[in-house]
Amino acid sequence: MKKLQILGPGCPKCKKLAEVTEEAAKALGLDYELVKVTDIKEIMGFGVMMTPGLAVDGQVKVYGRIPSLEEVKNLLSK
């Protein structure tokens, strides 16, 4: 099971990233858990200074922007 973490305080961009990530995971048929990390100290612990961010299994894949659905699919399929 992949652990997908949305890193951000819950702003509109964070919510959009969560939607895109969930759509990509479902399209790929992944077994996943989506977790929203909203604590600033925890987000900074990932080394992320600009939100939103996406971490897959604890590893930051993208931050500071909302990637396209195709980009997220590509990130999740690796």
Q: Which residues carry out catalysis?
A: 11, 14
Secondary structure letter of residue 63 according to DSSP: E
Distance CA 45, CA 24 (A): 26
Question: Could you tell me the CA-to-CA distances from 5 to 8, 13, 27 in Å, in that order?
Answer: 9, 14, 18
